[in-house]
């Protein structure tokens, strides 16, 4: 159920930024009502996309250092970045969780190959590229953090999707969603595909989570969730 088809899921960065400058789901029992369909797009040619996704100008509005501080990662954490793209955030995570591991997950094979090559080039043995399939993010083990940047609005049946992802969290684990809210932003998806943080919070409550922290960036929100003690 992750995404409607293999062509619909690419990278966290690529998926949301495709229009302008940049432009788990196993056989566990599904739950929670469906939500609106997501925006779909396919990406190939990772080397060409990397020039856009890793553009230093992105830092001015993506605020990666603020996001890292918000996450509060520890050296031995295990992280899954679903929709990892060319590695904008996973590379940064890997440099923090030096005794842990970062699973950089993507459906687009070219992105996965690029990530694996980048991990070797930058000497990051704890950064592991993972090829997912259309109906399963293939997180290799339970993790402390599931991170999605600019990917949430591409997911179909979001409440059911995130309900299933709870099984991929370690005790005390959290889910962090970064996505666009500002309709006049010069980057990001078309206005009709932007989702308010209120809607995200509502859908995540339906999925069995509660919001614990939030951060506002120039064009995006950053929302942190943990599983609720009981299902709604």
More confident residue, 11 or 127: 127
More confident residue, 226 or 23: 226
Q: Does residue 86 sit within a domain?
A: yes
Q: Does residue 67 sit within a domain?
A: yes
Residue 39's CATH number: 3.40.50.150
Helices 197-206 and 158-165, interaxial angle, to 10°? 60
Q: Does residue 232 sit within a domain?
A: no
The percent of residues above 70 in pLDDT, for the chain, comes to 74
pLDDT above 60 (res 28): no
Q: What is the pLDDT of residue 134?
A: 65
Q: Does residue 72 sit within a domain?
A: yes
Q: Does residue 23 sit within a domain?
A: yes
The percent of residues above 90 in pLDDT, for the chain, comes to 55
159 Cβ contact partners less than 8 Å away, ≥ 6 residues apart: 32, 33, 34, 35, 203, 204, 206, 207
Q: What is the pLDDT of residue 166?
A: 96
Please provide the average confidence, as pLDDT, over all residues in the chain: 80
How many structural domains does the chain have? Answer: 1
Q: Does residue 118 sit within a domain?
A: yes
pTM over 0.85: no
Q: What is the pLDDT of residue 24?
A: 31
Q: Does residue 1 sit within a domain?
A: no
pLDDT above 70 (res 121): yes
Domain with 100, as residue range(s), is 6-227
Per DSSP (E only), the strands in the chain are 78-82, 101-106, 127-131, 143-149, 169-180, 209-216, 220-227
Q: Does residue 218 sit within a domain?
A: yes
Q: Average pLDDT in the 193-210 region?
A: 94
């Amino acid at each position: 159920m992750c995404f409607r088809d293999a062509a619909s899921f690419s990278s966290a960065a690529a998926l949301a930024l495709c229009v302008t400058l940049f432009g788990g789901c196993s056989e566990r029992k599904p739950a929670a009502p469906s939500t609106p369909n997501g925006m779909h797009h396919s990406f190939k040619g990772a080397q060409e996309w990397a020039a856009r996704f890793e553009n230093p100008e992105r830092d001015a509005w993506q605020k990666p250092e603020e996001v890292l501080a918000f996450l509060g990662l520890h050296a031995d954490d295990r992280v899954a970045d679903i929709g990892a793209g060319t590695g904008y955030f996973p590379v940064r995570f890997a440099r923090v969780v030096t005794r842990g591991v970062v699973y950089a997950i993507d459906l687009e094979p070219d992105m996965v190959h690029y990530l694996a090559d980048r991990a070797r080039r930058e000497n990051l043995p704890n950064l592991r590229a993972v090829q997912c399939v259309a109906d399963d993010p293939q997180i290799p083990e339970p993790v402390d953090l599931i991170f999605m940047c600019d990917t949430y609005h591409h997911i179909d049946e979001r409440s059911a999707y995130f309900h299933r992802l709870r099984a991929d969290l370690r005790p005390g684990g959290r889910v962090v969603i970064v996505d666009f809210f500002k309709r006049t932003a010069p980057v990001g998806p078309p206005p009709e595909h932007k989702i308010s943080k209120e809607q995200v919070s509502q859908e995540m409550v339906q999925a069995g989570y509660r919001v614990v922290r939030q951060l506002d960036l120039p064009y995006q929100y950053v929302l942190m969730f943990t599983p609720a003690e009981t299902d709604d």
